[in-house]
C-alpha cells in the first residue's frame, strides 16, 4: 500500500473522532518459533496470560496434497515454544482456546466426518465438538460435547468464554437433527456439561464476558419483522454466569445481509456491538451501543471504513475502556486478490490510533486477544510464511472515569 493511500485511510478513520491521532498503537513485534512445512497459519485462537501469548491454530502445508499425511494443528506459546496437545487421533478442526480464573487452558475443537485429513474437509462444517482442559501440564481425556453441523465454527467470531470459577461457556450456530439453532453450553471446571440451551438462530454467534458473572451472546436470526433477504441481530444477557438468560433484545434489523458475526466489547459503562454488513460493492461496519443491562441498542457514531471490500471484523478490550478493532479487507477483486488488515484503537467511541499491518496477503490468518494491560494481534506473515508474529499495545495510562 502506498504512503498516499495509507495516509488517506488513516484520515478516513480519524475523521470520525475529535480526538487527535497518537503515536503508533502497535509495537513489540515478537516472533514465535518457526513452523516448518506450513504455508500459513489459519484461524488462530489467542489467549493472553500476562507476558505469555498462547496460540492454537490450523496449519496449511505448502503442498496441499500433504494434508492427508501432515499434522494440521499447532499449539504454541511465546515465550516457551510448543505446548503438548490433547491425546488421540484428532483433526483439531478450528481449535478455540480460553483461560479460566484457575489458570487452566480449555480447548474446544471440531471433528469432521471425513477422517482422511484431506483439503476438502476444511470446506465443510465440523460434525461434532470436543473439549479438553490443560491442568498442571497435562490434558484431560478429550470428550465429545455435541453432534450436529456446526456452522462457521471457529473461523469467525468469539465462541468461548471462561470465568473465574473455572466454568466454560460455549456458543455456536448448529444445524441439528430437527432445527437450526444457536446452541449455548455451560461446562463446569471438570468439563462436564451443566446446561444446554437452544435458541432459534442463523449463521453466526459470539459470546463475551462483560464483567463478573455477566455474559452476553450476540447472534443472527430472523423474525416476522426481518426484511426479506435481510438479517436481524439479537443479543441475550445473563447476569449469573449463564444460569438464566434474558429474553432476546433486538440490536437491529436490516435489509442487507450481515457477512460476519456480531462482536461485542465493553467500554466503561457501555457495550459496543460491531459487524460487517454486505452491500452492492463494499462491506461496511455497523456499530451499535447499549448499557450492559441491555436497554435499547442505538446506532453508534463510531465510523470505521476501509478502501476495499470489507469481510471480517474482530475486536478485543483492555482496561480503562479501550478496545481494538481489526478489519480484514480485499484491496483488489481482480486476478490477484490482495488482503490487508487494518487495526484501530477506540476510546469513548472515537478512533485514537490506526495502522495497516505489513506482509498480510491472505484471509483468516489473524487473531486478537487481550488481558488487562495489553491487546495482542497475532498473525502469520506471508514472507516468510512459516512464522507467527504478534504485535501488542500496552495500555498503561491512568484510568479516567467516563
Using an 8 Å Cβ cutoff, are 367 and 46 in contact? Answer: yes
Q: How many angstroms from the chain centroid is the CA of residue 67?
A: 25
DSSP string, 334-397: SSS--EEEEEEEEETTEEEEEEEETT--STT-EEEEE-SSEEEEEEE-SSSTT-EEEEEEE--S
**Collapsing DSSP states into helix, strand and coil, what is residue 211?**
coil
* Cross-strand pairs, 264: 273
What is the helix (H) or strand (E) element at residue 127, kind and residue range?
Answer: none
pTM (predicted TM-score):
0.86
Task: Render each residue's pLDDT in the chain as its tens digit; 402 residues.
Answer: 333 233 322 222 323 332 233 444 566 666 666 555 455 677 889 998 877 889 898 877 666 666 655 667 888 887 777 899 999 989 899 999 999 888 899 999 999 887 766 777 777 889 999 999 999 999 999 999 999 888 888 766 789 999 888 899 999 999 887 788 999 999 998 889 999 999 988 889 999 988 888 999 999 988 889 888 888 999 999 999 999 999 999 999 988 888 788 888 887 778 888 888 876 556 678 888 887 665 689 888 777 767 667 777 888 887 667 788 887 777 665 555 556 677 777 766 677 667 676 555 556 678 888 877 778 888 776 554 456 666 666 554 445 444
How far is the C-alpha of 265 from the C-alpha of 273, rounded, in Å? 7
* Cross-strand pairs, 237: 216
Locate cell 433486538: which residue? 250
| Residue among 172, 288, 148, 271 nearest 216 (CA) | 271
Amino acid at each position: 500500500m502506498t504512503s498516499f493511500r495509507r495516509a488517506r485511510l488513516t484520515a478516513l478513520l480519524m475523521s470520525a473522532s475529535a480526538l487527535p491521532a497518537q503515536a503508533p498503537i502497535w509495537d513489540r513485534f515478537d516472533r514465535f518459533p518457526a513452523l516448518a512445512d506450513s504455508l500459513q497459519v489459519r484461524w488462530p485462537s489467542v489467549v493472553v496470560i500476562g507476558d505469555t501469548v498462547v496460540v492454537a491454530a490450523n496449519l496449511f502445508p505448502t503442498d496441499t496434497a500433504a494434508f492427508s499425511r501432515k499434522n494440521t494443528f499447532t499449539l504454541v506459546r511465546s515465550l516457551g515454544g510448543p505446548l503438548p496437545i490433547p491425546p488421540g487421533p484428532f483433526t483439531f478442526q478450528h481449535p478455540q482456546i480460553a483461560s479460566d480464573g484457575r489458570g487452566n487452558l480449555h480447548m474446544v475443537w471440531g471433528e469432521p466426518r471425513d477422517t482422511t485429513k484431506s483439503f476438502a474437509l476444511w470446506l465443510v462444517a465440523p460434525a461434532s465438538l470436543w473439549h479438553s482442559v490443560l491442568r498442571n501440564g497435562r490434558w484431560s481425556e478429550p470428550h465429545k460435547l455435541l453432534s450436529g453441523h456446526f456452522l462457521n465454527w471457529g473461523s469467525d467470531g468469539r465462541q468461548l468464554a471462561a470465568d473465574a470459577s473455572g466454568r466454560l461457556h460455549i456458543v455456536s450456530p448448529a444445524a441439528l437433527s430437527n432445527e437450526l439453532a444457536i446452541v449455548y453450553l455451560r461446562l463446569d471446571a471438570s468439563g462436564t456439561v451443566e446446561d444446554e440451551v437452544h435458541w432459534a438462530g442463523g449463521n453466526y454467534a459470539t459470546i463475551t464476558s462483560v464483567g463478573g458473572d455477566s455474559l452476553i451472546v450476540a447472534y443472527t436470526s430472523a423474525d416476522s419483522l426481518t426484511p426479506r433477504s435481510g438479517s436481524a441481530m439479537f443479543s441475550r444477557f445473563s447476569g449469573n454466569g449463564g444460569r438464566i438468560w434474558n429474553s432476546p433484545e433486538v440490536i437491529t434489523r436490516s435489509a442487507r445481509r450481515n457477512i460476519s458475526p456480531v462482536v461485542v466489547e465493553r467500554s466503561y459503562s457501555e457495550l459496543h456491538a460491531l459487524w460487517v454488513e454486505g452491500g452492492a460493492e463494499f462491506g461496511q461496519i455497523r456499530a451499535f451501543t447499549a448499557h450492559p443491562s441491555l436497554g435499547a441498542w442505538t446506532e453508534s457514531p463510531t465510523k470505521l471504513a476501509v478502501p476495499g471490500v470489507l469481510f471480517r471484523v474482530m475486536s478485543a478490550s483492555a482496561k480503562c475502556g479501550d478496545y481494538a478493532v481489526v478489519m480484514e479487507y480485499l484491496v483488489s477483486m481482480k486476478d490477484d486478490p490482495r488482503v490487508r488488515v487494518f487495526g484501530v484503537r477506540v476510546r469513548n467511541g472515537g478512533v485514537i490510533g490506526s495502522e495497516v499491518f505489513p506482509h498480510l496477503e491472505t484471509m483468516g490468518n489473524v487473531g486478537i486477544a487481550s488481558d488487562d494491560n495489553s491487546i495482542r494481534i497475532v498473525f502469520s506473515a506471508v514472507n516468510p510464511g512459516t512464522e507467527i508474529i504478534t504485535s501488542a499495545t500496552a495500555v498503561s495510562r491512568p484510568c479516567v472515569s467516563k
